Amino acid sequence: MATLLEAPRIVERWLRGMEERGEYEPAWGDREDVYSVALAGVLHQRTRRELAEPVLRELLRRYPEPSDLLKAPEDELKESLARIGLVERRLKAVLGLARLLSEDPEPSGEDLLSVPGVGPYTADLVRAVVYRERVLPVDANVRRVVRRSTGRPVGDVGAEWVRAARDPRDLALGTVELGRRCCRPEPECEECPIAGVCAEQGRVRG
């Protein structure tokens, strides 16, 4: 039987397989730069992906560069953001991101955290996906997947989880997606690619 920390590599392969079959696409589409990924992180806070993703795609289409977003009428931005709530908070965050990226297109995680409304998840998402740094962006989905599969909280085992992976980008996105599709609060264990190495579920897949 596979060891528990084989799970990260299984998650990576699972995500890559879905991408190759056209069954998964990141919220930002083909574009994968700091602007699009950070914007996604901010817009997905405290809302569902199916609500945030259309707003993200719309903003990236209308304002493809940070400088374009800075020129946008505030009323237009508020109208878009109203569909996912927390309008003033999100407006402050997206404008702060645009200002930062206009000055520095490749900010560090620490620089991103200096923007009001940008938290550790968004900063770590950029670090893992864009910079390929060995960090794990932690949201409720990731916390649940790691805790269930290893039997330990993500704070204890997250560093080991990342070290076991080949590509931080695939691991980060795959772990989030696994939490959305399979490892829900009411889990769909029969669909889970890591069921055979899961400490909580414990069944070996055929």
pLDDT in tens, 171-191: 999 999 999 999 999 999 999
Token reading at 70: 């800075």
Residue 145 has pLDDT above 90, yes or no: yes
State the DSSP string of 75-105: HHHHHHHTTTS-HHHHHHHHHHHHHHHHH-S
- Phi, psi at 144, each rounded to 5°: -70, -45
Residues 6+ apart with CB under 8 A from 110: 123
| Sign of torsion over alpha carbons 55, 61, 67, 68 | negative
**Cα 39 versus chain centre, distance:** 11
CATH numbers and ranges of domains, the chain: 4-25+134-197 (1.10.1670.10), 34-129 (1.10.340.30)
User: Cβ contacts of residue 66 below 8 Å, gap of 6+?
Assistant: 35, 97, 98, 99, 101, 102
- Of the two residues 52 and 165, the one the predictor is more confident about is 52
Confidence of residue 3 (pLDDT cuts 50, 70, 90): low
